[in-house]
Copies of this chain bind each other. A is one copy, B any other.
Amino acid sequence: MTASHLPEPAGAHRRPTIHDVARDAGVSKTSVSRYFGCERALLSGTMVKRIEAAIERLGFAPDRIASSLRGGRTGLIGMVVADMRNPYTVDMLHGAELACREHGYSLLVCNTDNDDRLERRHLDVLHGYSIEGLVINTPGGNVPTLVARREAGLPMVLVDRHIDGLACDMVGLDNEQAITLGVSHLVDQGYQRLLMITQPGAGISSRKARVRMFRHRAHEADLSAEVHEATEAALDPSRLAVTLEQWLQADEAPGAIVCANAMVTLNVCHALFKLYEAPFQHVGLLGIDDVPWCALVGPGITTVAQPVVDIGHGAIDMLMQRLGGTTGDPQATLFSAHLNPRGSTIIRSS
């Protein structure tokens, strides 16, 4: 018998542990643990050198799973998004990833495809991993679960929208300012009637805010303002084209369409190109959310852009503050939009 332990399979050797390092360096495992933790200052110079040498020799890397178990800190942040393919989500995720990296956290990303049951499942999984914080962009179908987690002490930041009955931090766009900016521009350009196309937003605060403010500002400027809520199906370009044509032919005065987000802008463009070869000679178009291709379509599509990367970054920043121990009432961080004027909001003589 060579050893009292496992025969140790020939090829792959066992990952070294803090124990191995301790033995190799001739110190206690506690000291090695201190080397990695925040008690590094306790160690003497000789000790540090010996530990470092042993780590190098063995190629040791601490096991975060074991560390999480005893230490309680997993270093994991849960990120639950409603629609991974939405450009908004992508940029937000990018900002969040950046911020996590800065703070030494890692992101567990979950996509719910706007499905409440799936969201619920993802929340359970994240709970299983003992995430330290949650950033969530939710349609609002799992309020009880979220409230429970929040009250159990899980730091949580809502993105883009806040949810009634869920007292927690939130990061998003200053929708009032954004819509004011957009409508003022359209007024300045001389449009006399406006149509907003939006997705149905039963419980989604940001969508409701945009519609409310749109009506308000248009009314203030004495313009007629209509709002069309297009369900998933009604966003289909062909069906949308019918709606748009009706609205266009109802009145001779120059009109402009406002798209409530990038998804809507894309579909409205498709619809307009079905109707006209050069649609922007007949109607103005302003999109909320700027995406790279907006500058390429027709004479360029005017947009009101939100700083989405900053929003994602800001979400993590708020989380870090809570993790740092900040208590107190929920905060809302709202970012300002800016205008990208392009050719789609210039009135051509017809």
Contacts and interface: CB of A to CB of B under 8 A. Distances in A.
Given A65-B69, A66-B69, A129 B106 contact: yes
**Copy number of this protein in the oligomer?**
2
A303 to B, nearest CB: 13
Interface residues of A toward B: which range? 35 or more
Contacts of A42: none
Contacts of A65: 65, 68-69, 74, 129-130
A147 interface: no
A109 B111 contact: no
A128 B104 CA distance: 12
Interface in A182-241: none
Contacts of A69: 65-66, 69
Interface in A294-326: 295-297
Nearest to A91: B85
A125 B106 contact: yes
A334 to B, nearest CB: 24
A267 to B, nearest CB: 9
Interface in A64-106: 64-66, 68-69, 74, 84-85, 90-91, 93-94, 97-98, 101, 106
B84 A90 contact: yes
A168 interface: no
A124 B297 CA distance: 43
Contacts of A118: 101
Contacts of A85: 90-91, 94
Contact of A296 (B94, B107, B269): B269
Contact of A106 (B90, B108, B292): B108
Nearest to A85: B94
Contacts of A111: 94, 97-98
Given A124-B61, A269-B296, A297-B293, A152 B12 contact: yes
A153 interface: yes
A94 B322 CA distance: 30
A270 B69 CA distance: 52
Interface string A243-260: 000000000000000000
A4 B111 CA distance: 45
A12 B151 CA distance: 8
A323 to B, nearest CB: 15
Contacts of A84: 90, 93-94, 97
